Chain A
Amino acid sequence: MKSFRAFVIKEFKHIFRDVRTLVILFGMPVVLVILFGFAITTEINNAKIAVLDLAHDNYSHKLLDKISSSGYFNIADDLKSYSEIEKSFSKGDIKLAVVIGENFGKKLINDKDAEIQIITDASDPNTANIVSGYLTAIIQNFTFETGALKPPLVTVKSQMLYNPENKSVFMFVPGVMTIILMLVSAMMTSITIAKEKELGTMEILLVSPLKPWVIIVGKIVPYLFLSIVNSITILLLGLFVFQIPMNGSHILLFSEVLLFIISSLTLGLLISTITDTQQSAMLISMLGLMLPTILLSGFIFPISSMPVILQYISNILPAKWFIIIIKSIMLKGTGFDTIMFETSIIVIITLILGIMTIKKFKIRLE
């Protein structure tokens, strides 16, 4: 026990004396959450648009009022002719241009084809789709209000369950947490063990009376602790800065986070058994873990729209299941029974990784 304590104290000293480690441990989580929460969003807020009003009548003014008061759009450019549209786009700050056809009001009342054209900047197709969708909805609403169009017999009212305002931060916080836990647990653990090998201190530890499991547990404990601190930080940021709801059980959430941390730590140990230098440990963690996690876990790109083979690959990533679990607990408030399947997959993957690690470790000692 005395030797275990000496070991863990030494590990914490390594961590707190290395600026690079500190930045990854404490700067990265906060920066990522804030970045994804504020800067990278798929929602539209005050998107700048240009308007070419060829009608200039009562109705066209009303429509423009409605658009600018919606909160989604901000009329930044009032154009005089068609030729100005392209110029406005090439200046780069508008996302969309609306053209209101001549005699808009008259045609609207007389049931003729009143024309509105929406031109979007499809060099960013995602945003183009979303803004044109928003604008179409506003225009449709306007035509009902003016009575120009009778409401259809069947009205489809879609309701966004669990995330009624379609906030992207609900998606990003679980994703960021997954990445940070991978980074801290898997990458940092593999690097710290590889470092001992590279510097030759691992031999000293193996010759010493420390039992191999003490060395491993001693290496893991500080990162386990820091991972827990990090997940709490990210969750608190999510709850209080971005108002993500927490509908499920805290204990369940904590246990699942712990399970994922253990799974990532095991992965880190496995990587450390096959690498001898910090650099290769870092490369393997980056290319073999971080990239697939970011790209294939469903964090940024929806899994259902991936090629089939990538969908299969995504199934062996604990990260994919972990993101599903976190969202279910936080947003839907589900209990353990509904996420049992996902949980058991992570458990199985962890066990397989654990067995592989022990086998590799034994081979090295023989």
Chain B
Amino acid sequence: MDDKVITAKDLTKTFGKFTAVDHITFDVKQGEIFGFLGANGAGKTTAIKMLTGILSSTSGEAKVAGYDINTQRNKLKKNIGYMSQKFSLYEDLTLKENINFYGGIYGLSKKQIVTKTGEMIERLDLQHIENTMISEIPLGWKQKIAFSVAILHHPKIVFLDEPTSGVDPITRRQFWNLIYEAAEDGITVFVTTHYMDEAEYCDRISMMVEGRIEAMGSLKELLERYDAKDMDEVFLKLAR
């Protein structure tokens, strides 16, 4: 049981009469890349909001990094990282200032921030733009920086909400390399996407349709189970 960093049981969220997330049950193992697939509006973002402690659940229970999502939010938040599709860096701050800010709000000491910043800038080869305003940095770079900033405090799990939307295929490929590196470092990656082809990068996939998890397993298992060539086909069969 110990190697499970996310466990969710019958997790549900309703807004009035509308059920956005309908009794989802799953768990994610340490160091795994868990793909959370589904069409737009399938309930992925609502699920992520509950798991990151922004939104309270209506019923069911879930633990993230060992902490209850409704009652232990503070401890939970210290142990997770998050990146949304908007990349969420401050455009009017320089690269370094952004890193300092995120380090600061995650409670890292000055010393830690300096070493981590150095490591990150070297790893991504960013020496030439460390004092450049984010607004002047190209989109592909911003996305990589945003991801590195989200794992700056070395969280147990990083949640990526549609991190590759609006990015060209080459940059997407490079971005996935960063995700692999993080996973090798022991960071569990929980990633949502509506690009079905990205499923093949994940260790395990869950498919969400109208608030429910309709299928879960590795890519190979799913393709066999639904007798499909690729995830697109699996998705079409499920959605029907």
Contacts and interface: CB of A to CB of B under 8 A. Distances in A.
Interface stretch (B32-40, B73-81, B120-128, B166-174): B73-81
Contact of A7 (B86, B93, B104): B104
A140 to B, nearest CB: 64
B84 interface: yes
Interface in A293-341: none
Contacts of B83: 204
B104 A5 contact: yes
Interface string A1-23: 01101110110011001100000
Interface in B67-109: 74, 77-78, 80, 82-93, 97, 100-107, 109
Contact of A207 (B80, B93, B97, B101): B80
A200 interface: yes
Interface residues of B, number: 32
Contacts of B100: 6
A111 interface: no
Contact of A209 (B54, B91, B105): B105
Interface of B is mostly: loop
A165 interface: no
Nearest to A15: B92
B52 A6 contact: no
A141 interface: no
B106 A3 contact: yes
Contacts of B74: 209, 211
A218 B237 CA distance: 50
Going nearest first, the 9 A-B pairs with the smallest beta carbon separation are A6-B104, A200-B86, A207-B82, A209-B77, A3-B105, A204-B88, A207-B52, A17-B92, A209-B78
6 contacts: A3-B104, A6-B101, A7-B105, A203-B84, A204-B84, A207-B77
Interface of B: 52-56, 74, 77-78, 80, 82-93, 97, 100-107, 109, 159
Given A3-B106, A199-B86, 13 more contacts: A3-B104, A5-B104, A10-B93, A14-B92, A199-B91, A200-B87, A201-B90, A204-B88, A207-B80, A208-B102, A209-B105, A365-B54, A366-B55
